Amino acid sequence: MTDESRTTDPRRYSRVVVDGVEQAPSRAMLRAVGFTDADFQKPQVGIASTWSMVTPCNMHIDGLAREACAGADAAGGKGVLFNTITVSDGISMGTPGMRYSLISREVIADSIEAVVGGEGFDGFVAIGGCDKNMPGCAMAMARLDRPSVFVYGGTIKPGPKHRDIVSVFEAVGGHAAGRVDDAELAEVEATAIPGPGSCAGMYTANTMASAIEALGLSLANSSALEAVSAEKISDCRSAGEAVVNLIKRGIKPSDILSKEAFENAITTVITLGGSTNAVLHLLAIAHEANVDLSLDDFTRIGARVPVLGDLRPSGRYMMSELIHIGGIQPLMKTLLNAGLLHGDCLTVTGKTLAENLSNAGNYPSGQDIIRSLDNPIKAESHLAILYGNLAPDGAVAKISGKEGTRFSGPARVYHSEEHALKAILGGEVRAGDVVVIRFEGPKGGPGMREMLSPTGAIIGKGLGDKVALITDGRFSGGSHGFVVGHIAPEAAVGGPIAIVQDGDVITIDATKRTIDLGLSDAELKQRLAAWQSVDNGVSRGLLAKYAHLVGSASNGAVTDVF
Protein backbone atom coordinates (compact mmCIF):
# COMPACT_ATOMS: atom_id res chain seq x y z
CA MET A 1 0.00 0.00 0.00
CA THR A 2 1.37 3.42 -0.92
CA ASP A 3 1.85 6.30 1.49
CA GLU A 4 -0.82 8.25 -0.44
CA SER A 5 -3.43 5.53 -0.03
CA ARG A 6 -2.70 5.36 3.69
CA THR A 7 -2.95 9.10 4.27
CA THR A 8 -5.92 10.02 6.43
CA ASP A 9 -7.18 12.94 8.47
CA PRO A 10 -4.57 13.21 11.25
CA ARG A 11 -7.22 14.70 13.54
CA ARG A 12 -9.87 12.11 12.80
CA TYR A 13 -10.87 11.67 16.46
CA SER A 14 -9.80 14.90 18.18
CA ARG A 15 -11.59 17.04 15.62
CA VAL A 16 -14.91 15.82 17.00
CA VAL A 17 -13.88 16.91 20.50
CA VAL A 18 -12.33 20.35 19.90
CA ASP A 19 -13.64 21.81 16.62
CA GLY A 20 -16.62 24.11 16.26
CA VAL A 21 -18.57 26.57 18.36
CA GLU A 22 -20.40 23.84 20.19
CA GLN A 23 -17.10 22.41 21.49
CA ALA A 24 -16.07 25.63 23.25
CA PRO A 25 -16.59 23.95 26.67
CA SER A 26 -14.18 21.19 25.68
CA ARG A 27 -11.57 23.72 24.61
CA ALA A 28 -12.05 25.67 27.82
CA MET A 29 -11.28 22.58 29.87
CA LEU A 30 -8.21 21.82 27.78
CA ARG A 31 -6.88 25.37 28.03
CA ALA A 32 -6.73 24.85 31.79
CA VAL A 33 -4.32 21.92 31.33
CA GLY A 34 -2.02 23.86 29.00
CA PHE A 35 -3.53 23.85 25.50
CA THR A 36 -2.95 26.91 23.31
CA ASP A 37 -4.85 27.99 20.21
CA ALA A 38 -2.24 26.26 18.05
CA ASP A 39 -2.55 22.98 19.97
CA PHE A 40 -6.17 22.55 18.90
CA GLN A 41 -4.99 22.21 15.31
CA LYS A 42 -2.55 19.40 16.09
CA PRO A 43 -3.23 15.66 16.30
CA GLN A 44 -3.67 14.75 19.94
CA VAL A 45 -1.40 11.97 21.22
CA GLY A 46 -2.25 10.24 24.48
CA ILE A 47 0.72 9.05 26.52
CA ALA A 48 -0.46 6.12 28.64
CA SER A 49 1.94 5.86 31.56
CA THR A 50 1.98 2.93 33.97
CA TRP A 51 4.11 4.88 36.46
CA SER A 52 3.71 4.07 40.13
CA MET A 53 5.83 3.59 43.20
CA VAL A 54 4.36 0.19 44.02
CA THR A 55 7.13 -1.66 42.16
CA PRO A 56 10.66 -1.01 40.86
CA CYS A 57 9.47 -2.15 37.42
CA ASN A 58 7.50 1.07 36.98
CA MET A 59 9.05 3.61 39.37
CA HIS A 60 10.90 5.44 36.58
CA ILE A 61 8.20 5.46 33.92
CA ASP A 62 6.96 8.97 34.75
CA GLY A 63 10.21 10.33 33.33
CA LEU A 64 9.98 8.08 30.28
CA ALA A 65 6.40 9.21 29.66
CA ARG A 66 7.49 12.87 29.65
CA GLU A 67 10.14 12.02 27.07
CA ALA A 68 7.54 10.33 24.85
CA CYS A 69 5.31 13.38 25.24
CA ALA A 70 8.19 15.65 24.22
CA GLY A 71 8.81 13.46 21.17
CA ALA A 72 5.18 13.73 20.09
CA ASP A 73 5.26 17.51 20.54
CA ALA A 74 8.48 17.85 18.55
CA ALA A 75 6.94 15.91 15.67
CA GLY A 76 3.95 18.25 15.43
CA GLY A 77 1.49 16.52 17.74
CA LYS A 78 0.11 17.52 21.12
CA GLY A 79 1.06 15.02 23.80
CA VAL A 80 -1.32 14.49 26.71
CA LEU A 81 -0.16 12.41 29.67
CA PHE A 82 -2.42 10.08 31.62
CA ASN A 83 -1.88 7.18 33.99
CA THR A 84 -3.16 3.68 34.47
CA ILE A 85 -2.46 1.14 37.20
CA THR A 86 0.02 -1.61 37.87
CA VAL A 87 0.07 -4.54 40.28
CA SER A 88 3.42 -6.05 41.25
CA ASP A 89 3.62 -9.81 40.83
CA GLY A 90 6.87 -9.98 42.77
CA ILE A 91 5.35 -8.26 45.79
CA SER A 92 1.95 -9.98 45.78
CA MET A 93 3.37 -13.43 44.92
CA GLY A 94 2.27 -16.15 47.32
CA THR A 95 -0.43 -13.97 48.90
CA PRO A 96 -4.16 -13.47 48.27
CA GLY A 97 -3.22 -10.21 46.57
CA MET A 98 -1.79 -12.15 43.63
CA ARG A 99 -5.37 -12.85 42.57
CA TYR A 100 -5.45 -9.27 41.26
CA SER A 101 -2.42 -9.67 39.01
CA LEU A 102 -3.97 -11.14 35.87
CA ILE A 103 -7.15 -9.19 36.54
CA SER A 104 -5.08 -6.00 36.33
CA ARG A 105 -4.30 -6.83 32.68
CA GLU A 106 -7.98 -6.36 31.87
CA VAL A 107 -8.28 -3.24 34.05
CA ILE A 108 -5.29 -1.69 32.28
CA ALA A 109 -6.64 -2.45 28.81
CA ASP A 110 -10.09 -1.18 29.79
CA SER A 111 -8.73 2.01 31.35
CA ILE A 112 -6.59 2.90 28.33
CA GLU A 113 -9.59 2.25 26.08
CA ALA A 114 -11.74 4.48 28.29
CA VAL A 115 -9.31 7.42 28.30
CA VAL A 116 -8.27 7.25 24.64
CA GLY A 117 -11.87 6.76 23.52
CA GLY A 118 -13.31 9.30 25.92
CA GLU A 119 -10.77 12.04 25.17
CA GLY A 120 -10.72 11.52 21.42
CA PHE A 121 -6.99 11.00 21.04
CA ASP A 122 -5.86 10.51 17.45
CA GLY A 123 -3.18 8.07 18.56
CA PHE A 124 -1.24 7.11 21.63
CA VAL A 125 1.97 5.79 23.13
CA ALA A 126 1.66 3.12 25.83
CA ILE A 127 4.57 2.56 28.21
CA GLY A 128 4.66 -0.63 30.30
CA GLY A 129 7.17 -2.07 32.71
CA CYS A 130 5.62 -4.93 34.68
CA ASP A 131 4.23 -8.27 33.58
CA LYS A 132 0.56 -7.43 33.08
CA ASN A 133 0.67 -3.83 31.95
CA MET A 134 2.59 -4.81 28.84
CA PRO A 135 -0.02 -7.21 27.42
CA GLY A 136 -2.70 -4.87 28.80
CA CYS A 137 -1.23 -2.03 26.73
CA ALA A 138 -1.00 -4.21 23.63
CA MET A 139 -4.59 -5.41 24.08
CA ALA A 140 -5.77 -1.80 24.25
CA MET A 141 -3.80 -0.97 21.10
CA ALA A 142 -5.43 -3.84 19.22
CA ARG A 143 -8.89 -3.09 20.58
CA LEU A 144 -8.86 0.67 19.87
CA ASP A 145 -7.12 0.27 16.50
CA ARG A 146 -5.75 3.81 16.52
CA PRO A 147 -2.16 4.65 15.51
CA SER A 148 -0.08 3.67 18.52
CA VAL A 149 3.35 2.57 19.70
CA PHE A 150 4.33 0.49 22.70
CA VAL A 151 7.44 1.31 24.73
CA TYR A 152 9.02 -1.12 27.18
CA GLY A 153 10.18 0.53 30.39
CA GLY A 154 13.35 -1.54 30.30
CA THR A 155 15.07 -4.24 32.30
CA ILE A 156 16.72 -3.90 35.69
CA LYS A 157 20.45 -4.23 36.24
CA PRO A 158 21.48 -7.44 38.06
CA GLY A 159 22.20 -7.35 41.77
CA PRO A 160 25.54 -8.35 43.34
CA LYS A 161 26.61 -11.96 42.78
CA HIS A 162 24.39 -12.14 39.69
CA ARG A 163 21.21 -12.04 41.78
CA ASP A 164 17.65 -11.12 40.89
CA ILE A 165 14.16 -11.53 42.34
CA VAL A 166 14.10 -15.28 41.63
CA SER A 167 17.27 -15.61 43.72
CA VAL A 168 15.20 -14.44 46.69
CA PHE A 169 12.38 -16.93 46.14
CA GLU A 170 14.87 -19.77 45.77
CA ALA A 171 16.78 -18.62 48.86
CA VAL A 172 13.54 -19.07 50.83
CA GLY A 173 13.46 -22.71 49.71
CA GLY A 174 17.16 -23.06 50.53
CA HIS A 175 16.50 -21.63 54.00
CA ALA A 176 13.79 -24.24 54.58
CA ALA A 177 16.21 -26.96 53.51
CA GLY A 178 18.89 -25.67 55.89
CA ARG A 179 21.29 -24.70 53.10
CA VAL A 180 20.79 -20.93 53.51
CA ASP A 181 21.12 -19.37 56.96
CA ASP A 182 19.35 -16.27 58.28
CA ALA A 183 22.24 -13.94 57.48
CA GLU A 184 22.56 -15.11 53.88
CA LEU A 185 18.80 -14.86 53.31
CA ALA A 186 18.85 -11.31 54.66
CA GLU A 187 21.77 -10.42 52.37
CA VAL A 188 20.02 -11.84 49.29
CA GLU A 189 16.85 -9.94 50.18
CA ALA A 190 18.74 -6.67 50.63
CA THR A 191 20.80 -6.80 47.43
CA ALA A 192 18.83 -8.66 44.74
CA ILE A 193 16.89 -5.62 43.46
CA PRO A 194 19.32 -2.71 42.95
CA GLY A 195 16.99 -0.14 41.33
CA PRO A 196 14.42 0.60 38.60
CA GLY A 197 13.46 -1.82 35.87
CA SER A 198 11.70 -5.10 35.21
CA CYS A 199 12.89 -8.46 36.52
CA ALA A 200 16.26 -9.38 35.13
CA GLY A 201 15.87 -12.77 33.42
CA MET A 202 13.82 -13.94 30.46
CA TYR A 203 10.84 -13.87 32.76
CA THR A 204 7.41 -12.58 31.74
CA ALA A 205 8.32 -8.89 31.42
CA ASN A 206 11.31 -9.38 29.12
CA THR A 207 9.48 -12.16 27.30
CA MET A 208 6.49 -9.93 26.54
CA ALA A 209 8.67 -6.97 25.62
CA SER A 210 10.43 -9.18 23.07
CA ALA A 211 7.12 -10.60 21.81
CA ILE A 212 5.61 -7.13 21.36
CA GLU A 213 8.67 -5.96 19.43
CA ALA A 214 8.42 -9.05 17.21
CA LEU A 215 4.71 -8.29 16.68
CA GLY A 216 5.78 -4.94 15.24
CA LEU A 217 4.14 -2.79 17.92
CA SER A 218 7.34 -1.23 19.29
CA LEU A 219 10.39 0.33 17.72
CA ALA A 220 13.40 -1.81 16.90
CA ASN A 221 15.34 -2.83 20.01
CA SER A 222 12.85 -1.25 22.46
CA SER A 223 12.71 -4.62 24.24
CA ALA A 224 16.46 -4.78 24.84
CA LEU A 225 17.40 -1.59 26.66
CA GLU A 226 18.12 -1.09 30.33
CA ALA A 227 15.56 0.93 32.28
CA VAL A 228 18.13 3.47 33.40
CA SER A 229 19.99 4.38 30.22
CA ALA A 230 20.32 7.16 27.68
CA GLU A 231 19.17 4.68 25.02
CA LYS A 232 15.83 4.16 26.76
CA ILE A 233 15.24 7.91 26.95
CA SER A 234 15.94 8.15 23.22
CA ASP A 235 13.60 5.18 22.59
CA CYS A 236 10.77 7.03 24.32
CA ARG A 237 11.33 10.26 22.38
CA SER A 238 11.44 8.30 19.14
CA ALA A 239 8.17 6.54 20.04
CA GLY A 240 6.45 9.88 20.47
CA GLU A 241 7.72 10.99 17.08
CA ALA A 242 6.80 7.65 15.48
CA VAL A 243 3.17 7.76 16.57
CA VAL A 244 2.71 11.17 14.93
CA ASN A 245 4.11 9.66 11.74
CA LEU A 246 1.66 6.77 12.03
CA ILE A 247 -1.23 9.18 12.53
CA LYS A 248 -0.27 11.15 9.43
CA ARG A 249 0.09 7.96 7.38
CA GLY A 250 -3.02 6.32 8.78
CA ILE A 251 -1.18 3.17 9.92
CA LYS A 252 -3.14 1.32 12.61
CA PRO A 253 -2.55 -1.85 14.65
CA SER A 254 -4.91 -3.73 12.33
CA ASP A 255 -2.37 -3.09 9.55
CA ILE A 256 0.34 -4.65 11.71
CA LEU A 257 -1.28 -7.44 13.72
CA SER A 258 -1.65 -10.17 11.12
CA LYS A 259 -1.51 -13.90 11.79
CA GLU A 260 2.04 -13.82 10.45
CA ALA A 261 2.98 -11.14 13.00
CA PHE A 262 1.79 -13.40 15.81
CA GLU A 263 3.81 -16.25 14.32
CA ASN A 264 6.85 -13.96 14.44
CA ALA A 265 6.16 -13.25 18.12
CA ILE A 266 5.77 -16.94 18.98
CA THR A 267 8.98 -17.80 17.14
CA THR A 268 10.92 -15.10 18.98
CA VAL A 269 9.56 -16.16 22.37
CA ILE A 270 10.55 -19.77 21.74
CA THR A 271 14.10 -18.97 20.65
CA LEU A 272 14.58 -16.90 23.81
CA GLY A 273 13.22 -19.64 26.09
CA GLY A 274 10.46 -17.27 27.21
CA SER A 275 7.72 -17.46 29.81
CA THR A 276 4.61 -19.65 29.58
CA ASN A 277 2.64 -16.46 30.20
CA ALA A 278 3.40 -15.50 26.61
CA VAL A 279 0.92 -18.17 25.53
CA LEU A 280 -1.83 -16.65 27.65
CA HIS A 281 -1.08 -13.07 26.66
CA LEU A 282 -0.55 -13.60 22.93
CA LEU A 283 -3.88 -15.43 22.77
CA ALA A 284 -5.52 -12.47 24.51
CA ILE A 285 -3.91 -9.86 22.22
CA ALA A 286 -4.91 -11.92 19.17
CA HIS A 287 -8.48 -12.03 20.46
CA GLU A 288 -8.57 -8.22 20.64
CA ALA A 289 -7.06 -8.02 17.14
CA ASN A 290 -9.61 -10.50 15.71
CA VAL A 291 -6.78 -12.81 14.67
CA ASP A 292 -7.44 -16.55 14.79
CA LEU A 293 -4.72 -17.84 17.13
CA SER A 294 -4.94 -21.04 19.16
CA LEU A 295 -2.87 -23.30 21.39
CA ASP A 296 -2.23 -25.55 18.42
CA ASP A 297 -0.38 -22.73 16.65
CA PHE A 298 2.24 -22.85 19.41
CA THR A 299 2.69 -26.58 18.80
CA ARG A 300 2.90 -26.15 15.02
CA ILE A 301 5.49 -23.38 15.21
CA GLY A 302 7.36 -24.99 18.09
CA ALA A 303 8.03 -28.13 16.06
CA ARG A 304 10.40 -26.20 13.77
CA VAL A 305 11.79 -23.50 16.07
CA PRO A 306 14.67 -24.22 18.47
CA VAL A 307 15.55 -22.68 21.82
CA LEU A 308 18.73 -20.62 21.36
CA GLY A 309 18.88 -18.29 24.38
CA ASP A 310 20.81 -19.46 27.45
CA LEU A 311 18.77 -17.13 29.63
CA ARG A 312 17.35 -17.33 33.13
CA PRO A 313 15.43 -18.94 34.70
CA SER A 314 16.58 -22.24 33.21
CA GLY A 315 19.73 -20.76 31.68
CA ARG A 316 22.65 -18.69 32.96
CA TYR A 317 22.33 -15.15 31.64
CA MET A 318 20.22 -12.07 32.30
CA MET A 319 18.61 -9.61 29.90
CA SER A 320 21.23 -6.94 30.65
CA GLU A 321 23.90 -9.32 29.38
CA LEU A 322 21.94 -9.94 26.19
CA ILE A 323 21.61 -6.17 25.77
CA HIS A 324 25.37 -5.76 25.94
CA ILE A 325 25.88 -8.06 22.94
CA GLY A 326 23.18 -6.42 20.81
CA GLY A 327 19.74 -7.37 22.16
CA ILE A 328 17.29 -9.40 20.10
CA GLN A 329 17.79 -7.69 16.73
CA PRO A 330 20.73 -9.91 15.66
CA LEU A 331 18.73 -12.96 16.73
CA MET A 332 15.71 -11.86 14.69
CA LYS A 333 17.97 -11.18 11.71
CA THR A 334 19.30 -14.74 11.98
CA LEU A 335 15.76 -16.12 12.18
CA LEU A 336 14.68 -14.05 9.19
CA ASN A 337 17.60 -15.25 7.08
CA ALA A 338 16.75 -18.83 8.03
CA GLY A 339 13.15 -18.40 6.86
CA LEU A 340 11.73 -18.59 10.37
CA LEU A 341 10.24 -15.07 10.42
CA HIS A 342 7.85 -13.32 8.04
CA GLY A 343 9.83 -10.33 6.84
CA ASP A 344 6.98 -8.60 4.98
CA CYS A 345 5.03 -7.78 8.16
CA LEU A 346 4.49 -4.05 8.68
CA THR A 347 5.74 -2.44 11.92
CA VAL A 348 5.25 0.84 13.79
CA THR A 349 8.32 2.27 12.06
CA GLY A 350 6.20 2.36 8.92
CA LYS A 351 8.60 -0.17 7.42
CA THR A 352 8.49 -3.94 7.23
CA LEU A 353 10.27 -6.18 9.67
CA ALA A 354 12.79 -7.12 6.98
CA GLU A 355 13.52 -3.45 6.29
CA ASN A 356 14.06 -2.82 10.02
CA LEU A 357 16.38 -5.81 10.35
CA SER A 358 18.46 -4.85 7.33
CA ASN A 359 20.38 -2.50 9.63
CA ALA A 360 20.79 -5.04 12.45
CA GLY A 361 24.30 -6.14 13.32
CA ASN A 362 25.64 -9.53 14.33
CA TYR A 363 26.55 -10.89 17.73
CA PRO A 364 30.25 -10.67 18.64
CA SER A 365 32.26 -13.83 18.10
CA GLY A 366 32.77 -15.99 21.15
CA GLN A 367 29.55 -15.02 22.93
CA ASP A 368 27.52 -17.96 24.27
CA ILE A 369 24.32 -16.22 25.36
CA ILE A 370 22.56 -16.91 22.05
CA ARG A 371 23.45 -20.20 20.36
CA SER A 372 23.63 -20.73 16.62
CA LEU A 373 20.83 -22.52 14.78
CA ASP A 374 23.04 -25.56 14.27
CA ASN A 375 23.87 -25.79 17.99
CA PRO A 376 20.59 -25.16 19.83
CA ILE A 377 19.94 -25.59 23.52
CA LYS A 378 16.83 -27.51 22.52
CA ALA A 379 15.93 -28.54 18.99
CA GLU A 380 12.27 -27.61 19.38
CA SER A 381 10.15 -25.43 21.60
CA HIS A 382 10.36 -25.54 25.40
CA LEU A 383 6.66 -24.58 25.45
CA ALA A 384 4.76 -27.85 25.18
CA ILE A 385 1.00 -27.79 24.74
CA LEU A 386 -0.32 -30.93 26.41
CA TYR A 387 -3.66 -32.70 26.07
CA GLY A 388 -5.08 -35.76 27.79
CA ASN A 389 -7.82 -36.93 30.12
CA LEU A 390 -6.51 -34.51 32.77
CA ALA A 391 -6.54 -31.52 30.40
CA PRO A 392 -9.04 -32.07 27.57
CA ASP A 393 -8.86 -28.40 26.57
CA GLY A 394 -5.10 -28.19 26.90
CA ALA A 395 -2.33 -27.26 29.30
CA VAL A 396 0.98 -25.43 28.95
CA ALA A 397 4.27 -26.97 30.09
CA LYS A 398 7.66 -25.32 30.22
CA ILE A 399 10.17 -28.08 29.53
CA SER A 400 13.74 -26.96 28.96
CA GLY A 401 14.98 -30.55 28.73
CA LYS A 402 17.21 -30.26 31.78
CA GLU A 403 14.47 -31.72 33.97
CA GLY A 404 13.69 -34.56 31.53
CA THR A 405 10.75 -34.98 29.21
CA ARG A 406 8.63 -37.51 31.09
CA PHE A 407 7.42 -37.71 34.66
CA SER A 408 5.07 -40.17 36.33
CA GLY A 409 4.21 -40.30 40.00
CA PRO A 410 1.57 -40.20 42.72
CA ALA A 411 -0.46 -37.05 43.20
CA ARG A 412 -0.27 -34.86 46.27
CA VAL A 413 -3.32 -32.65 46.04
CA TYR A 414 -3.71 -29.15 47.48
CA HIS A 415 -6.62 -26.75 47.15
CA SER A 416 -4.51 -23.61 47.19
CA GLU A 417 -1.01 -22.29 46.66
CA GLU A 418 -0.63 -21.59 50.39
CA HIS A 419 -1.39 -25.19 51.37
CA ALA A 420 1.05 -26.50 48.78
CA LEU A 421 3.83 -24.12 49.82
CA LYS A 422 3.44 -25.10 53.48
CA ALA A 423 3.67 -28.78 52.53
CA ILE A 424 6.76 -28.25 50.37
CA LEU A 425 8.60 -26.22 52.98
CA GLY A 426 7.52 -28.65 55.71
CA GLY A 427 8.93 -31.71 53.96
CA GLU A 428 5.59 -33.34 53.12
CA VAL A 429 6.40 -33.34 49.40
CA ARG A 430 9.02 -35.91 48.48
CA ALA A 431 10.97 -36.97 45.41
CA GLY A 432 8.73 -38.67 42.87
CA ASP A 433 5.57 -36.76 43.77
CA VAL A 434 3.35 -34.82 41.41
CA VAL A 435 2.15 -31.76 43.30
CA VAL A 436 -1.37 -30.78 42.22
CA ILE A 437 -2.51 -27.23 43.02
CA ARG A 438 -6.10 -26.62 42.00
CA PHE A 439 -8.85 -24.01 42.34
CA GLU A 440 -6.27 -21.45 41.22
CA GLY A 441 -7.64 -20.98 37.69
CA PRO A 442 -9.15 -17.81 36.23
CA LYS A 443 -12.55 -18.43 37.83
CA GLY A 444 -11.50 -20.59 40.76
CA GLY A 445 -8.83 -18.30 42.21
CA PRO A 446 -10.30 -16.14 41.04
CA GLY A 447 -7.45 -14.58 39.11
CA MET A 448 -5.13 -17.45 38.11
CA ARG A 449 -2.26 -16.81 40.51
CA GLU A 450 1.34 -17.59 39.60
CA MET A 451 3.04 -20.43 41.45
CA LEU A 452 6.52 -18.93 41.83
CA SER A 453 6.61 -19.45 45.60
CA PRO A 454 5.99 -23.24 45.36
CA THR A 455 8.33 -23.71 42.39
CA GLY A 456 10.99 -21.54 44.03
CA ALA A 457 10.68 -23.63 47.19
CA ILE A 458 10.99 -26.86 45.19
CA ILE A 459 14.15 -25.61 43.47
CA GLY A 460 15.54 -24.27 46.74
CA LYS A 461 15.01 -27.63 48.44
CA GLY A 462 16.91 -29.42 45.69
CA LEU A 463 13.84 -31.15 44.23
CA GLY A 464 13.73 -29.38 40.88
CA ASP A 465 14.35 -32.53 38.82
CA LYS A 466 12.64 -34.87 41.29
CA VAL A 467 9.15 -33.36 41.66
CA ALA A 468 6.55 -32.28 39.09
CA LEU A 469 4.00 -29.56 39.76
CA ILE A 470 0.74 -29.13 37.87
CA THR A 471 -1.94 -26.51 38.32
CA ASP A 472 -4.95 -24.81 36.77
CA GLY A 473 -3.18 -21.62 37.80
CA ARG A 474 -0.13 -20.34 35.98
CA PHE A 475 3.58 -19.78 36.48
CA SER A 476 5.83 -16.79 36.80
CA GLY A 477 8.37 -16.44 34.04
CA GLY A 478 10.86 -17.09 36.83
CA SER A 479 9.56 -20.60 37.45
CA HIS A 480 11.49 -23.58 36.17
CA GLY A 481 11.51 -27.31 36.78
CA PHE A 482 8.97 -29.89 35.62
CA VAL A 483 5.92 -27.62 35.68
CA VAL A 484 2.56 -27.70 33.88
CA GLY A 485 0.01 -24.90 34.18
CA HIS A 486 -3.11 -23.48 32.52
CA ILE A 487 -4.82 -26.88 32.87
CA ALA A 488 -8.23 -26.57 31.23
CA PRO A 489 -11.02 -26.95 32.00
CA GLU A 490 -10.09 -25.65 35.45
CA ALA A 491 -11.27 -27.23 38.70
CA ALA A 492 -13.82 -24.49 39.41
CA VAL A 493 -15.89 -25.45 36.37
CA GLY A 494 -15.61 -29.20 36.93
CA GLY A 495 -12.52 -29.99 34.90
CA PRO A 496 -10.87 -33.37 35.56
CA ILE A 497 -8.22 -31.75 37.79
CA ALA A 498 -11.06 -31.22 40.29
CA ILE A 499 -11.47 -34.95 40.93
CA VAL A 500 -7.81 -35.97 41.35
CA GLN A 501 -7.18 -37.71 44.67
CA ASP A 502 -3.99 -38.22 46.68
CA GLY A 503 -2.10 -41.22 45.33
CA ASP A 504 -3.61 -41.17 41.83
CA VAL A 505 -0.86 -41.69 39.28
CA ILE A 506 -0.32 -38.79 36.91
CA THR A 507 1.86 -39.15 33.82
CA ILE A 508 3.26 -36.19 31.90
CA ASP A 509 4.98 -36.83 28.58
CA ALA A 510 6.39 -33.73 26.90
CA THR A 511 7.51 -35.73 23.86
CA LYS A 512 4.04 -37.16 23.21
CA ARG A 513 2.51 -33.91 24.55
CA THR A 514 0.17 -35.72 26.90
CA ILE A 515 -0.95 -35.36 30.50
CA ASP A 516 -3.05 -38.19 31.84
CA LEU A 517 -4.62 -39.36 35.06
CA GLY A 518 -4.22 -43.11 35.62
CA LEU A 519 -7.94 -43.92 35.82
CA SER A 520 -10.20 -45.94 33.59
CA ASP A 521 -12.75 -44.00 31.56
CA ALA A 522 -15.50 -45.45 33.75
CA GLU A 523 -13.85 -44.33 37.01
CA LEU A 524 -13.15 -40.89 35.57
CA LYS A 525 -16.78 -40.46 34.48
CA GLN A 526 -18.04 -41.68 37.88
CA ARG A 527 -15.91 -39.16 39.77
CA LEU A 528 -16.89 -36.32 37.43
CA ALA A 529 -20.57 -37.16 37.82
CA ALA A 530 -20.22 -36.95 41.61
CA TRP A 531 -18.33 -33.64 41.54
CA GLN A 532 -19.91 -30.66 43.24
CA SER A 533 -18.93 -27.06 42.70
CA VAL A 534 -16.89 -25.20 45.32
CA ASP A 535 -17.58 -21.58 46.28
CA ASN A 536 -14.60 -19.37 45.43
CA GLY A 537 -15.39 -17.18 48.43
CA VAL A 538 -16.09 -13.90 46.64
CA SER A 539 -19.52 -12.40 45.98
CA ARG A 540 -18.92 -8.70 45.24
CA GLY A 541 -16.41 -6.34 43.72
CA LEU A 542 -13.71 -6.80 41.13
CA LEU A 543 -12.88 -10.42 41.95
CA ALA A 544 -16.52 -11.47 41.65
CA LYS A 545 -17.00 -9.51 38.44
CA TYR A 546 -13.90 -11.10 36.92
CA ALA A 547 -14.90 -14.62 37.97
CA HIS A 548 -18.29 -14.11 36.32
CA LEU A 549 -16.87 -12.82 33.03
CA VAL A 550 -13.55 -14.59 32.49
CA GLY A 551 -13.17 -17.41 30.01
CA SER A 552 -10.80 -20.35 29.75
CA ALA A 553 -7.03 -19.99 29.97
CA SER A 554 -6.89 -21.92 26.71
CA ASN A 555 -8.47 -18.90 25.03
CA GLY A 556 -6.33 -16.29 26.79
CA ALA A 557 -8.51 -15.78 29.90
CA VAL A 558 -10.24 -12.78 28.34
CA THR A 559 -13.37 -11.19 29.74
CA ASP A 560 -15.27 -9.99 26.68
CA VAL A 561 -16.48 -13.24 25.12
CA PHE A 562 -20.25 -13.40 25.49
d(CA 130, CA 60): 12
Amino acid at 522: A
32 C-beta neighbours (distance < 10 Å), count: 8
Instruction: Give the β-pairing of 123-128 and 383-388.
Output: unpaired
Longest CA–CA separation in the chain, Å: 75
Dihedrals phi, psi of 264, to nearest 5 degrees: -60, -40
My answer on whether omega of the bond before 446 falls inside 30° of 0, hence cis, is yes
Q: What is the CA radius of gyration of the chain?
A: 23
Interhelix angle 452-460/165-176, rounded to 10 degrees, is 60
DSSP 505: E
d(CA 135, CA 208): 7
Please, which residues have CB within 8 angstroms of residue 252's CB and are 6 or more apart in sequence? 145, 146, 147, 246
Between vectors from CA 478 to CA 328 and to CA 417, what angle results, nearest 5°? 150
d(CA 473, CA 485): 6
HSE (side-chain half, CA atoms, 13 Å) at 9: 8
Nearest alpha-carbon partner for 513 in 297, 270, 299, 272: 299
d(CA 526, CA 524): 5
d(CA 210, CA 214): 6
3-class DSSP state of 237: helix
DSSP 23: G
Dihedrals phi, psi of 265, to nearest 5 degrees: -65, -45
Catalytic residues: 476
